[in-house]
Amino acid sequence: MPKLLGKILSNLFSKPSTIQYPFENPGLVEGTRGELSFDMNICDQCQDCERLCPSGAISVDVDEKKIEWDPFKCIYCHLCVDNCMHKAITALDHVKSPDYKLRKKIFER
């Protein structure tokens, strides 16, 4: 019983384990793999990211100097971010929010 009393008291005065989600945001921890952003002023269309991508989420149009990135195919492994020679791909500090349509993101010069 004394053990149980201790447990009851600690539960009574401790903070709740959960948070009220829409009103409170837990935030992201340091190092979360976020959404991608392509800087087309630095990119030289070498297509390394397209070749490396395990899920085929990136397609580079060399003639039109355009990159299409599919956030729904992307597995956020960040291979492209780590391997881009010119550091033209940056990882943002937020994750992709859900969407109603399967639309791609287009980056143009």
Partner 1 sequence: MKPTAVGDVIGMSKQTSEIKCSVFPFGPQHPVLPEPIQLKFVVQEEKIIDVLPQIGYIHRGIEKAIELNDYRRNIYICERICGICNFQHGMAYSETIEKLTDTMVPLRAKYLRTIWAELTRLQSHLLWLGLFSEGVGFESLFMSIWKIRERVLELTERTGGHRIHLSTNAIGGVSKDMDEKLINHYYSELKALRKEMDTLAPVFYKDKAFRAKQEGKGILPKKDAVHLAAVGPTIRGSGIPQDMRSNFYEAYGMLDFQPITYDSEDVLGRTLVRFDEVYQSIDLMEEALKQMPEGPIQEKNTMFPEGVAIVRVEQPRGECFYYGVGNGTIHLERMRIRTPTIPNIPPLLHMLKGYEVSDIPAIVHSIDPCIACAERITYVDKEES
Question: What residues make contact with partner 1 under the rule CB under 8 A?
Answer: 17, 29-33, 54-55, 75-78, 82
Between 57 and 67, whose beta carbon lies closer to partner 1? 57
For residues 49-88, one letter each, b for 16 or more C-beta atoms within 10 angstroms of the residue's C-beta and e for the rest, the string is bbeebeeebbebeeeeebbbbbbeebebeeebbeebeeeb
* Alpha helix ranges (H) inside 1-109: 2-13, 48-52, 79-83
Between 11 and 41, whose beta carbon lies closer to partner 1? 11
CB of 55 to partner 1, least distance (A): 7
CB of 2 to partner 1, least distance (A): 14
Between 65 and 78, whose beta carbon lies closer to partner 1? 78
